[in-house]
């Protein structure tokens, strides 16, 4: 009967590693939010440190595929050798007799020993009943067996570093899914064909080949083929050989990978040194510049915004912080000079009045001087109180936590404060306009009906701004005048205007009125009743809310001034 060739590749699959349930939470911890994002600097560090590991991993994956392809090629070559050995033994040991065809045991064993020594392989012979007839290595010493095995290849000692890498590769390959590894070849001491791999297939007329690992973790090949003449099966042979030639080829590739890995590691170290300089050098410059600023040596924080990474962001923040500090210091210095100047005027007036009081004789003049002294003392007291409030305002604005403010409700509450209890109990005008009177001046609040306007800030401070603006408008309004407050939305911005019907503001003073201690009061008010800090405080509060405040005159068609308008612009939510 014909002989079918069957190649049994004896591989086993490694088990998949257990899934880690916490992987999602870890990813969220490190990369889940904007404050823990992967940025340019992070990618540089990861890239430099991963180069060597990626090269090694690619080598390991390549070695796994290369080993598989190499074993496949060796099995193909081994198949040809096995068929030749089988044909030679069959030709010499199978004889004809009057009883039919039979296998000459002595000739078969003698041929097997000769072929074993020349080919460097172990050959076992089995009869058609599956009983072992002989072994080509039987009676040989271990040294003689090793000599025969080495006669078919040029072996060399694999460096210890290669062995370490191979062990590490084996461990990593075992963790990879669907990565095939060779099974271990069983140590068999038996005379029955059924106890040996491949032989049962050979007794059924098939050629069977397999790849294994032996007890020393060396690659090992086995093949079994039938012995027959014509269609008559007379027995089978089992041929085994070491895969030392395969180990040598793989060791050579491992050596090349080790060289590449070493070169990559050196490059990675050099890149790491470079990366350390890229990070440490600018940080050192920033630290040195910040130290100069701290010591009052002046200087400027380096501009590294072109880097587009965390260090660039740090330089921008430090520059902004330094600029804000210098502005704060300049503001404090100017504030101190303005305070000294404002306090000097009433103190000079006090000194003059007191000195004059000693030399006047008239009782009427003394009483007049006493009134001047009391007026100046009130003015000094008012200045000190307002200066104290203004000096604390900036610190309070930086410390207090901002929150969402319902601006419509806040302004309605402010208007209610000007009303009597009876007026508060009345329903609001359905047109969205709220009206209240302060002395002879009428206040009108116009807001969008059924619309809630929200801003981000401090409600008490914003109310302070609108109180100052309303008080200022009322003081300049003529008797029976109207102060109009309008609230409107302009895209993402909220626009609040406070308009009066007073004499307006000199065109060259529209911005000056927001400076500290500047006072432009109506003629009917006595001098010294205001410190000139109200509008300055308003601008300071609005600026802290990232908004704008400015003043303009209301004019008719002919260009005549009909009043003043203060405009506050805030960001809506």
| Vertex 570 angle, CA 334 and 505, to 5° | 60
Residue 36 domain boundaries: 4-261
Ranges assigned E (strand) in 243-323: none
Phi, psi of 481, rounded to the nearest 5 degrees: -75, 175
Q: Are residues 139 and 42 in the same domain?
A: yes
One domain, residues 51 and 152: yes
The 3-class secondary structure across 109-125, one letter per residue, is HHHHHHHHHHHCCEEEE
Of 212, 238, 261, the residue at which a domain comes to its end is 261
CA distance 234 to 95: 10
Residues 443 and 549 in one domain: yes
- 38-47, 289-298, 460-469: range with lowest mean pLDDT: 38-47
Return the structure tokens found at 509: 């003073």
* CATH number of the domain encompassing residue 435: 3.30.565.10
Residue predicted with more confidence, 36 or 530: 530
State how far the Cα of 337 lies from the Cα of 291, in Å rounded to an integer: 28
* In 439-480, alpha helices (H): 459-476
Alpha helix segments (H runs only) across 13-104: 23-31, 40-93
Same domain, 96 and 66: yes
Among 186-190, 367-371, 420-424, which stretch is predicted with the lowest mean pLDDT? 420-424
Dihedral of CA 45/46/48/52: which sign?
positive
Q: Is this model's pTM higher than 0.85 or not?
A: no
Both 201 and 85 in one domain: the answer is: yes
| Tens-digit pLDDT profile for residues 199-257 | 898 888 888 998 888 877 788 888 999 988 777 888 899 998 888 777 777 777 777 77
By the 10 Å C-beta count (0-12 exposed, 13-18 middle, 19+ buried), 316 is classed as middle
Residue 346, domain member (yes or no)? yes
CATH of the domain at 135: 3.30.450.20
Number of domains making up the chain: 3
Q: 391 forms bridges with which residues in the sheet?
A: none
* Domain presence at residue 294: no
Are 137 and 50 members of one domain? yes
One domain for residues 362 and 427: no
For residue 170, CA distances in Å to 105, 255, 488, 536 come to 43, 16, 73, 76
64 shares its domain with 206: yes
Is residue 556 scored above 60 in pLDDT? yes
In a domain, 426, yes or no: yes
């Amino acid at each position: 009967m014909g002989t079918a060739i069957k190649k049994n590749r004896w591989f086993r699959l490694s088990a998949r590693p257990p899934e880690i349930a916490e992987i999602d939470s870890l990813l969220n911890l490190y990369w889940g939010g904007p404050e823990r994002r992967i940025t340019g600097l992070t990618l540089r560090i990861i890239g430099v440190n991963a180069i060597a590991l990626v090269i090694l991993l690619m080598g390991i994956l390549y070695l796994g595929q290369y080993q598989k392809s190499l074993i496949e090629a060796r099995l193909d070559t081994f198949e040809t050798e096995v068929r030749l050995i089988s044909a030679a033994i069959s030709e010499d040991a199978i004889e004809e007799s009057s009883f039919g065809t039979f296998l000459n045991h002595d000739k078969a064993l003698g041929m097997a020993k000769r072929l074993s020594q020349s080919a460097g392989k172990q050959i076992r012979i089995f009869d058609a009943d599956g009983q072992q007839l002989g072994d080509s290595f039987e009676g040989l010493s271990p040294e003689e067996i090793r000599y025969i095995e080495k006669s078919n290849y040029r072996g060399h000692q694999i460096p210890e570093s290669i062995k370490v890498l191979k062990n590490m590769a084996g461990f990593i390959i075992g963790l990879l899914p669907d990565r095939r590894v060779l099974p271990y070849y069983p140590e068999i001491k038996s005379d029955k064909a059924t106890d040996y791999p491949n032989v049962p297939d050979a007794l059924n007329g098939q050629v069977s080949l397999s790849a294994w690992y032996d007890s020393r973790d060396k690659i090992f090949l086995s093949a079994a083929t039938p012995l027959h003449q014509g269609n008559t099966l007379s027995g089978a042979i089992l041929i085994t050989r070491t895969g030392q030639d395969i180990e040598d080829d793989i060791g050579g590739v491992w050596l090349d990978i080790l060289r590449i890995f070493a070169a990559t590691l050196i490059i990675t170290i050099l890149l790491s040194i470079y990366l350390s300089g890229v990070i440490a050098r600018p940080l050192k410059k920033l630290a040195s510049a910040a130290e100069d600023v701290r010591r009052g040596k002046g200087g400027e924080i380096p501009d590294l915004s072109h880097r587009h990474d965390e260090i660039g962001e740090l330089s921008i923040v430090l520059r902004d912080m330094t600029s804000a500090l210098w502005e704060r210091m300049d503001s404090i210095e100017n504030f101190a000079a303005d305070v000294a100047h404002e306090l000097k005027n009433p103190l000079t007036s006090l000194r003059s009045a007191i000195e004059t009081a000693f030399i006047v004789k008239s009782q009427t003049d003394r009483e007049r001087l006493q009134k001047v002294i009391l007026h100046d003392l009130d003015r000094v007291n008012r200045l000190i109180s307002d200066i104290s409030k203004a000096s604390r305002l900036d610190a309070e604005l930086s410390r207090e936590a901002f929150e969402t403010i319902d601006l419509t409700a806040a302004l309605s509450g402010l208007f209610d404060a000007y009303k009597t209890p009876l007026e508060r109990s009345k329903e609001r005008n359905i047109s969205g306009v709220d009206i209240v009177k302060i002395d002879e001046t009428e206040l009108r609040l116009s807001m969008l009906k059924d619309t809630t306007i929200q801003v981000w800030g401090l409600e008490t401070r914003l109310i302070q701004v609108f109180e100052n603006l309303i008080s200022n408008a009322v003081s300049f309004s003529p008797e029976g005048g109207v102060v109009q407050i309008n609230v409107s939305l302009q895209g993402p911005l909220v626009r609040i205007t406070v308009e009066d019907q007073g004499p307006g503001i000199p065109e060259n003073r529209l911005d000056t009125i927001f400076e500290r201690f500047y006072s432009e009061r109506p003629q009917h008010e006595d001098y010294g009743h205001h410190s000139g800090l109200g509008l300055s405080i308003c601008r300071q509060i609005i600026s802290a809310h990232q908004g704008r405040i400015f003043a303009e005159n209301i004019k008719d068609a002919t260009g005549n001034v009909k009043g003043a308008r203060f405009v506050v612009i805030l960001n809506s939510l």
